[in-house]
């Protein structure tokens, strides 16, 4: 069986940046990543590269920012008063994340700097603007259930309901 739309695919991966530093790996969790192909569950560049692959295939995939998490946008970086973080007090630190409602819907922001009562937040994905390098091994492909297709995601290793 080959990877195509509406197939449930499991694969192990190691993600590195252009400097060769490991950013993430499914091997740390010891379970492969499982997704429903063709439903936007993984970044577009990786999903496109997996089309037609079969169990046991190993490949290296380089994904440009526009096919990954997008380019960085300076307009998503802003300074806000610390008082905007109700109840956080002195605990605000770089690296903390929170979700905020925006005109475009909910967005995750990361605190990048705290300077007195001014907090710099960044709404870019942490990997925005990065070229992503994946080492991938396909471990399983199966048919998806009608319910998985309707919901647009996998319901467990054997298609179990959630």
129-143 tens-digit pLDDT: 999 999 999 999 999
> What integer pLDDT is reported at residue 107 of this predicted model?
87
Task: Locate the domains of the chain by residue range.
Answer: 7-69+129-146, 74-122
Q: Does domain 7-69+129-146 have CATH number 1.20.1260.10?
A: no
Among 1, 72, 7, residue whose Cα is nearest residue 42: 7
Contact between 128 and 8 (Cβ < 8 Å): no
pLDDT (tens digit per residue) in 54-107: 999 999 999 999 999 999 999 999 999 988 887 665 689 999 998 888 887 888
- CATH topology for the 74-122 domain: Thrombin, subunit H (2.40.10)
Q: pTM higher than 0.85 for the full model? A: no
pLDDT (tens digit per residue) in 96-113: 998 888 887 888 999 999
Q: Can you list the pairs that 78-86 forms with residues at least 24 positions away whose Cβ atoms lie under 8 Å?
A: 78/120, 78/121, 78/123, 79/118, 79/119, 79/120, 79/121, 80/118, 80/119, 80/121, 81/117, 81/118, 81/119, 82/114, 82/116, 82/117, 82/118, 82/119, 83/117, 84/119, 85/119
β-strand pairing of 105-115 with 118-122: antiparallel
pLDDT of 19 over the 70 cut: yes
């Amino acid at each position: 069986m080959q990877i195509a739309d509406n197939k449930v695919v499991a694969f192990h991966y190691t993600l590195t940046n252009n400097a060769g530093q490991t950013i993430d790996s499914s091997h740390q969790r010891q379970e492969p990543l499982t997704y429903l192909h063709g439903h936007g569950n993984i970044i577009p560049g990786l999903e496109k590269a997996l089309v037609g692959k079969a169990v046991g295939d190993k490949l290296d995939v380089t994904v440009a920012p526009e096919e990954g998490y997008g380019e960085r946008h300076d307009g998503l970086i802003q300074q806000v008063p610390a008082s905007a973080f109700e109840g956080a007090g002195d605990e605000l630190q770089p690296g903390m994340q929170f979700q905020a409602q925006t005109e475009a819907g909910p967005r995750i922001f990361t605190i990048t700097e705290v300077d007195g009562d001014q907090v710099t937040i960044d709404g870019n994905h942490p990997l925005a603007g990065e070229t992503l390098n994946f080492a991938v091994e396909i471990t399983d492909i199966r048919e998806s259930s009608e319910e998985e297709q309707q919901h647009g995601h996998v319901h467990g290793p054997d298609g179990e309901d959630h």
